[in-house]
Structure 1
């Protein structure tokens, strides 16, 4: 047996799977949950989960094995996973292995047999908090007695650990777009690539002048992990480009662009993570179900005077889900239009960005 113990002392019992070092080793991370019913591969390899322990609310995970081509990144920064029932995935004919096989290869420890319904309810009622996975409760008591908040804050922001080490190009026959990689999911790049664009992907810390030296026709800021408020240098850098290029921001990219214009962000009680979040287009009234994975939101009050107008709103809690600049060709969305996993009805935002590019530069 092993345990997940939250920072307030609440403990949930389970059984180990995947790699565990043993001894006094403690697996630590912010404990979050995702309500999606499928897509565990895409979630585990989503770099936006960097530093977190991910709880799956669906009761059975792993039932279609592991398919390498469905990974959303080539590295994993997740700290651990929590499931109710772990399936070996025997029924999937085309699987490259089981979920546990992947966890062993990627050094992702897990707990199975956990009452994930109770855990999710507890987080919803008490808010997201740090947690640790241990083999003995005594380990947890000793850890929390001497722990500090800094134990869960990386010296190097998660975005700088998630981003690419160097710039690279994804070929295409169409216009060239710059992509600022804050921890980008592969499907964002695929959605842009299949529309014909040539992509030049830059690491998160790339100076604005280097991006402009490329003379791209537009810029896309990707999703990414962690607290956006701790990235003022990237926001300041991107602020220099608002009047220079058509820009689209996705998730963390949305938050960075809002900050670049002078807005602020705040932490949500337990985040938005799942494939069933209703979002309304404020211009048309249309409502779509969206895929989301974020723990922070843009403050609506802080948008006054920034030049940004709210384009999308969350119908569950009213939070800001997308922005459009009143003067410059800049739009952002908090949700994930590329899905992977989740509903695919929102990829029209890529077409809308294409229309903005066409209006700026003419038919391409």
Structure 2
């Protein structure tokens, strides 16, 4: 089925839909991973975005129920060079097209994704619109211009769980208490350290890694207050990833600020940015973001280089954290942007990248053990 992709700057790409008729808009970005498209599709950090895969052949291993990072497809649209409709993998349960169709997400193929990616690298991430209904370039460009800007937009509200839940044996488990009524009864009497994980759009594999590190995990909504977290008496606080601009999230920033010296704290991606804002730092929008499984990051404490998986369009201004009580721990070797920091006086550290995504494949998994060691130190 004929389709058209239009960018806000007037450039258009003729293409075809492999999921049937439809129309969608969002900020268009690119991901440089050679695999992992199902994880990309279900990552809440992609909320409101149309994702272009730079690897040309997509769909060849199908999809399954195990490799999801949330309970639904999160992307606004999906762009590939060549869609493969006959998957061949022993874990495949259905085709990518049927998976997207089941959730009403538009997928397009047969366009020059290399040219599109080079354009986005040059001019930066753009608003875009894809349609099988409106094939007039000028008219579709106008629709792209009407898409809300990512900057200043709170996208967390649309992705976080509205009720708390436990993560047990690799799956979410409901709790029989409302957030306002929860106390220490929510935890098992025996088990590992207790971690309250803020859900700003948390990926399932983060929860899997926290559980694998021996933690009991309680996921709390993004709007949970500091008082509500304190009443369950966790041993540690985790700040999750999530979509969009961190600056509009004034409520979570205030909550994090109130919890800074309460328990050891670890943040990933958006959690890193929110912690930076809570400590008086500033954030800004990157030109085209970091999205893929091949970003080199240097650990300034050890001198080691990690191959990391990343997905963010905003970053903490490294100069805004040049304070006596803060230390930059990680930097991106591609552009020298901030990839992690720690506090000298209180038990807090964060990273911008995704250690749970196994890019190296295990270059950054030590961070979950570091979090555990930090909690153990406070109990010593």
Give the TM bin, normalised by the shorter chain.
Answer: over 0.9
Kept in 1: contact 2:152–2:248 (CA 8 A): no
Partner residue of 1:324? Answer: 342
1:6 to 2:3 alignment: no
Over residues 197-250 of structure 1, what are the superposed CA-to-partner deviations in whole Å (9 max), with x where a residue is unaligned?
Answer: 111110101111100111100000110000011112211111001111100000
Kept in 1: contact 2:59–2:87 (CA 8 A): no
SS in 2 for 1:267: strand
Distance 2:49 2:236 in 1: 32
Kept in 2: contact 1:5–1:12 (CA 8 A): yes
Q: Do the aligned partners of residues 164 and 41 (structure 1) sit closer, same or farther apart at CA in structure 2, a change above 3 Å counting?
A: same
Distance 2:92 2:143 in 1: 44
For residues 1-364 of structure 1, the aligned pairs below 5 Å read 1-21=2-22, 26-135=23-132, 139-145=136-142, 151-152=148-149, 157-171=154-168, 173-305=191-323, 307-339=325-357, 343-362=361-380
What is the CA-CA distance between 1:27 and the residue it aligns to? 1.1
Q: Do the aligned partners of residues 155 and 291 (structure 1) sit closer, same or farther apart at CA in structure 2, a change above 3 Å counting?
A: closer
What is the CA-CA distance between 1:106 and the residue it aligns to? 1.1
Kept in 1: contact 2:8–2:145 (CA 8 A): no
Distance 1:308 1:135 in 2: 51
Kept in 1: contact 2:6–2:140 (CA 8 A): no
Distance 2:79 2:150 in 1: 21
Q: Do the aligned partners of residues 135 and 152 (structure 1) sit closer, same or farther apart at CA in structure 2, a change above 3 Å counting?
A: farther
Over residues 6-46 of structure 1, what are the superposed CA-to-partner deviations in whole Å (9 max), with x where a residue is unaligned?
Answer: 0001011111111423xxxx410000000000111111110
Kept in 2: contact 1:132–1:140 (CA 8 A): no
What is the CA-CA distance between 1:344 and the residue it aligns to? 2.7
Q: Where do 5+ consecutive residues of structure 2 fail to align? A: 169-187
Over residues 304-358 of structure 1, what are the superposed CA-to-partner deviations in whole Å (9 max), with x where a residue is unaligned?
Answer: 3373210000001000000110110000000000016663321110011111111
Number of equivalences: 358
Distance 1:356 1:284 in 2: 17
Q: Do the aligned partners of residues 218 and 45 (structure 1) sit closer, same or farther apart at CA in structure 2, a change above 3 Å counting?
A: same
Distance 1:237 1:174 in 2: 25
Return the TM-score normalized by structure 1. Answer: 0.94
Distance 1:149 1:237 in 2: 34
Return the TM-score normalized by structure 2. Answer: 0.90
Kept in 2: contact 1:19–1:108 (CA 8 A): no
Q: Do the aligned partners of residues 18 and 306 (structure 1) sit closer, same or farther apart at CA in structure 2, a change above 3 Å counting?
A: farther
> What RMSD over aligned residues (CA atoms) do the two structures have, in Å?
1.9
Q: Please say which of residues 289-298 and 89-98 is displaced more in the overlay.
A: 89-98
Distance 1:139 1:206 in 2: 46
Distance 1:146 1:133 in 2: 9
Distance 1:19 1:361 in 2: 57
Kept in 1: contact 2:134–2:140 (CA 8 A): no
